């Protein structure tokens, strides 16, 4: 391990390992197979990078995320370590040259996706490589019980046939006992050692707060405007709108979502890491590889789709070991929204058959043809032509992507984008003078928060539908608005790319997916139920609940979550009396709402509200309309 400590110091500047890193590295250097279960921020990548650097040869890293592969490759290259990633869209000649470099060019790391591993050329060249280690990142993707199952991961075990003497390490931050069992079974590895770090994060207070007015509670939570925080929301529109609201309140906030161009993503992340902006309002696109140690709060304004994703996102708080808070703000209206968003659009086998057939018809692909052909198209036009549901069709395409039937572009390469060049007031004045544009422009403003401030990619077909005009007329409006210097726009007729990975064979391609579709839908429902159970359970410590979900038992309560705090401070007579005096003192000055009282009185909100209820029961105070309290004379 002397070499391991030397490399850790030389390349990463650390003098000691985190708790589980050292035993994992030791096992790999002994040529043992390892399944490593480590919490988010536990330093998983070092567990395979350091043993790979100690030994001769190259390490193959299988990862499902292009962004994460690119981040890790860039980080290694900046340290002077030769690494490459086989990303999508590489020409055969480039792929051929890259694989040759892995054999002859002293490269230490080759990152690739499980789909790339299926190519004959890749497999043939791996046979010729001196591979010292095989790392399977995000290993939960191999399990049908995992929250992010990708069937292509099931084929990773072929690496064992290509390199039978090479040790494996599988790594994940979110694995239930069923997932762990499935990973071990599917990798088909003998004598695999499961090394698990505790998922317990003693410095994070997990809170669930009921909030009818979420924005009011958000401002309450964000008391320190210089504190680093992440706010997770469900949509791109919400990320822009809430960042805008926070900036108007004097915070330094930015928005992050999947629709941003790579350069813009890099800039916004860099600004946040350097504290030019303290708050990042983000969709789940903001996640993997985000390592900022001093995040004090992670706030979910919308319910997460699974406890796995919540635990990963919440785990981005407090990586420096200092106190941090992870809060879910919720109310009754969230539950139908969650179910509708994630369960109502679950595709059935018939939906998958229909969309696949229509897609082939749309591109005029004959039976037995289409393999490795790429097509640009307008997603909204495709849905409109065949009267398909936008959301369900998108879910089907995602499913076909996961199952390696096709590859759907994650980043729309060309989108219609609009940038208003005049202020909101000037725009309103312009619309008053030119009313024919009003419904079209207002549809834009309602659909895309922040469009007045930022250049924004839009779905023109969707806007046409909302404003009840055809695309030809919409384009004419855009030309006229640009001529009048109200906006600038770029029109792109195609907003998505699909690459067919297999020849067209309708039933032969789709019917084998039936068991996966059934299991995928069942798993989604179970994960939503687990989130709802977590929200409802206000008796057991939040940390205990999360740890139990991942198969870890803990005897003591965390003492800092919303449930422990409530249980720790019973409302005794002395405390009631102190709060009573503060309430009466405030109401003697003027009548006040419950919100004004909880803000003015320096006691927990729930305790103030409980004393208010007691005072009403005793008829010492009464409540007027508008939730205003007054002292009874």
CATH (domain of 587) = 1.10.10.10
**How much is the pLDDT for 413?**
45
Domain count of the chain?
A: 5
Q: Nearest to residue 225, comparing CAs of 307, 174, 286, 296?
A: 296
Residue 323: give its domain's CATH number.
3.40.50.300
What are the backbone angles phi and psi of residue 60, rounded to the nearest 5°? -95, 125
Q: Does 611 lie in the same domain as 578?
A: yes
Q: Nearest to residue 86, comparing CAs of 115, 113, 65, 64?
A: 113
Residue 120: both structure tokens together: 């004959």
With a pLDDT cut of 90, the percent of the chain lying above it is: 46
Q: Nearest to residue 314, comparing CAs of 34, 547, 75, 603?
A: 547
User: pLDDT tens digit string along 133-161?
Assistant: 999 998 888 876 665 667 777 788 889 89
For strand 228-232 and strand 279-282, is the pairing parallel, antiparallel, or unpaired? parallel
User: pLDDT tens digit string along 79-112?
Assistant: 999 999 997 667 788 899 999 999 999 999 999 9
User: pLDDT tens digit string along 565-580?
Assistant: 887 666 788 888 999 9
CA atoms within 13 A on the CB side of 446: 10
Q: Nearest to residue 474, comparing CAs of 440, 436, 432, 512?
A: 440
Q: Nearest to residue 326, comparing CAs of 342, 338, 343, 309?
A: 309
Euclidean distance between CA atoms 585 and 602, whole angstroms: 13
Residues with Cβ within 8 Å of 356's Cβ and at least 6 positions away in sequence, in order, are 396, 400, 405, 506, 509, 510
Residue 275 reports pLDDT greater than 70: yes
Domain housing 300:
204-331
More confident residue, 508 or 259: 508
Max intra-chain CA distance, the chain = 91
Q: Does 474 lie in the same domain as 364?
A: no
Residue 541 placed within a domain? no
Euclidean distance between CA atoms 33 and 24, whole angstroms: 10
Q: Nearest to residue 215, comparing CAs of 281, 283, 276?
A: 281
Q: Does 432 lie in the same domain as 365?
A: no
Q: Does 136 lie in the same domain as 122?
A: yes
- Based on its alpha-carbon atoms, the radius of gyration of the chain, rounded to whole angstroms, reads 27
Residue 410 reports pLDDT greater than 60: no
Residue 307 placed within a domain? yes
How far CA 96 is from CA of 120, 158, 176, 194, 255, in Å, comes to 12, 20, 39, 36, 39
Euclidean distance between CA atoms 131 and 161, whole angstroms: 13
Q: Does 512 lie in the same domain as 397?
A: yes
For strand 33-37 and strand 168-172, is the pairing parallel, antiparallel, or unpaired? parallel
User: pLDDT tens digit string along 234-247?
Assistant: 888 889 999 999 99
Residue 109: both structure tokens together: 């790391």
Residue 538 placed within a domain? no
Q: Does 170 lie in the same domain as 92?
A: yes
**Final residue belonging to a domain, choices 313, 331, 349:** 331
Residue 561 placed within a domain? no
Helix/strand/coil (H, E, C) string of 406-475?
EEECCCCCCCEEEEECCCHHHHHHHHHHCHHHHHHHHHHHHHCCCCCCCCEEECHHHHHHHHCCCHHHHH
Q: Does 473 lie in the same domain as 399?
A: no
Q: Does 479 lie in the same domain as 616?
A: no
Residue 442 placed within a domain? yes
Categorise residue 235: left if φ over 0, alpha if ψ from -120 to 50, beta otherwise.
beta
Residue 178 placed within a domain? yes
pLDDT tier, 322 (very low <50, low <70, confident <90, very high otherwise): very high
Residue 523 reports pLDDT greater than 80: yes
Q: Does 518 lie in the same domain as 384?
A: yes
Residues with Cβ within 8 Å of 34's Cβ and at least 6 positions away in sequence, in order, are 24, 27, 28, 167, 168, 169, 170, 192, 193, 194, 195
Residue 150 placed within a domain? yes
Q: Does 214 lie in the same domain as 157?
A: no
Residue 546 placed within a domain? no
- Eight-state DSSP code of residue 286: S
Helices (H) and strands (E) counted in the chain, each on its own, are 27, 22
User: pLDDT tens digit string along 359-405?
Assistant: 999 999 999 999 989 898 888 788 888 988 877 888 899 889 888 89
More confident residue, 189 or 208: 208
Q: Helix, strand, coil % (nearest 5) of the chain?
A: 50, 15, 35
- Eight-state DSSP code of residue 71: H
How far CA 204 is from CA of 196, 208, 392, 632, in Å, comes to 20, 13, 37, 43
With a pLDDT cut of 70, the percent of the chain lying above it is: 96
**Final residue belonging to a domain, choices 196, 219, 254:** 196
Q: Does 350 lie in the same domain as 241?
A: no
Q: Does 305 lie in the same domain as 215?
A: yes
Laid out side by side, the sheet with 374-377 consists of: 374-377, 496-500, 406-408
User: pLDDT tens digit string along 431-469?
Assistant: 999 999 998 998 888 888 778 877 787 877 778 878 888
**Final residue belonging to a domain, choices 296, 331, 366:** 331
**How much is the pLDDT for 289?**
59
Euclidean distance between CA atoms 545 and 550, whole angstroms: 9
- Segment (H or E) for 208: strand 204-210
How far CA 230 is from CA of 99, 247, 315, 330, in Å, comes to 39, 14, 11, 17
Residue 414 reports pLDDT greater than 70: no
**How much is the pLDDT for 290?**
73
pLDDT tier, 12 (very low <50, low <70, confident <90, very high otherwise): very high
- Eight-state DSSP code of residue 372: T
Euclidean distance between CA atoms 633 and 403, whole angstroms: 72
Mean of per-residue pLDDT scores for the chain: 88
Residues with Cβ within 8 Å of 361's Cβ and at least 6 positions away in sequence, in order, are none
What are the backbone angles phi and psi of residue 554, rounded to the nearest 5°? -140, 130
- Segment (H or E) for 187: helix 177-187
Euclidean distance between CA atoms 305 and 148, whole angstroms: 11
Residue 165 reports pLDDT greater than 60: yes
How far CA 134 is from CA of 12, 163, 247, in Å, comes to 22, 9, 46
Residue 407: both structure tokens together: 């590859």
pTM over 0.85: no
pLDDT tier, 22 (very low <50, low <70, confident <90, very high otherwise): very high
Euclidean distance between CA atoms 612 and 199, whole angstroms: 40
């Amino acid at each position: 391990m002397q070499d391991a400590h030397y490399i850790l110091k030389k390349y990463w500047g650390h003098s000691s390992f985190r708790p589980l890193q050292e035993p994992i590295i030791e096992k790999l250097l002994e040529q043992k197979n390892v399944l490593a279960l480590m919490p988010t921020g536990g330093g998983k990548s070092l567990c395979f990078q350091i043993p790979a650097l100690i030994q001769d040869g190259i390490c193959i890293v299988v990862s499902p995320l292009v962004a994460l592969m690119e981040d890790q490759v860039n980080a290694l290259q900046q340290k002077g370590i030769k690494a490459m990633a086989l990303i999508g869209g590489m020409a055969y000649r480039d792929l051929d040259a890259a694989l040759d470099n892995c054999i002859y060019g002293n490269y230490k790391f080759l990152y690739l996706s499980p789909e790339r591993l299926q190519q004959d050329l890749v497999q043939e060249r791996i046979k010729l490589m001196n591979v010292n280690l095989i790392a399977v990142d995000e290993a939960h993707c191999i399990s049908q019980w995992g929250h992010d199952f990708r069937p292509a991961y099931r084929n990773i075990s072929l690496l064992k046939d290509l390199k039978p003497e090479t040790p494996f390490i599988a790594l994940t931050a979110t694995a239930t006992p069923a997932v762990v069992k499935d990973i071990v079974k599917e990798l088909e590895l003998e004598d695999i050692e499961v090394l698990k770090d505790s998922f317990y994060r003693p410095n994070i207070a997990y809170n669930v707060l009921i909030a009818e007015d979420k924005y009011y509670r958000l401002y309450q939570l964000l008391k320190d405007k210089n504190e680093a925080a992440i706010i997770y929301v469900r949509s791109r529109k919400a990320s822009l709108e809430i960042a805008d609201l926070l900036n108007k309140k004097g915070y330094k906030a930015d928005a992050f979502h999947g629709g941003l161009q790579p350069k813009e993503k890099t800039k916004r992340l860099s600004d946040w890491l350097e504290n030019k902006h303290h708050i990042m309002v983000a969709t789940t696109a903001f996640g993997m590889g985000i390592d900022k140690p001093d995040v004090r709060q992670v706030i979910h304004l919308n319910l997460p789709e699974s406890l796995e994703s919540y635990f990963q996102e919440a785990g981005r708080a407090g990586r420096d070991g200092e106190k941090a808070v992870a809060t879910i703000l919720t109310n009754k209206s969230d539950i139908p929204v969650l179910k509708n968003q994630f369960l109502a659009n679950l595709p059935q086998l018939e939906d998958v058959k229909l969309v696949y057939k229509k897609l082939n018809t749309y591109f005029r692909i004959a039976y037995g043809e289409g393999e490795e052909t790429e097509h640009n198209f307008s997603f909204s036009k495709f849905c409109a032509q065949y009267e398909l549901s936008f959301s369900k069709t998108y879910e089907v395409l995602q499913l076909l992507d996961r199952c390696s039937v096709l590859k759907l572009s994650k980043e729309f390469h060309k989108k219609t984008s609009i940038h208003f060049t005049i202020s909101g007031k000037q725009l309103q004045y312009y619309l008053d003078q030119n009313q024919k544009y009003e419904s079209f422009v207002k549809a834009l403003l309602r659909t895309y928060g922040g469009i007045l401030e930022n250049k924004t990619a839009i779905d023109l077909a969707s806007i046409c539908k909302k404003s009840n005009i055809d695309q030809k007329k919409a384009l004419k409006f855009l030309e006229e608005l640009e001529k009048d210097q109200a906006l600038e726009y770029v029109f792109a007729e195609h907003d998505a790319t699909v690459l067919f990975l297999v020849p067209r064979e309708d039933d032969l391609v789709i019917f084998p997916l039936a068991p996966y579709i059934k299991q995928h839908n069942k798993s989604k429902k179970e994960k939503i139920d687990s989130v709802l159970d977590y929200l409802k359970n206000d008796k057991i410590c939040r940390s205990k609940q999360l740890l139990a979900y991942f198969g870890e038992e803990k005897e003591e309560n965390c003492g800092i979550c919303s449930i422990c705090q409530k249980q720790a401070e019973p409302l005794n007579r002395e405390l009631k009396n102190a709060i009573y005096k503060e309430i009466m003192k405030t109401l003697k000055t003027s009548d006040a709402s419950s919100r004004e009282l909880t803000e003015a009185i320096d006691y927990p909100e729930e305790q103030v509200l409980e004393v208010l209820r007691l005072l009403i029961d005793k008829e010492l105070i009464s409540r007027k309309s508008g939730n205003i309290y007054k002292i009874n004379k």
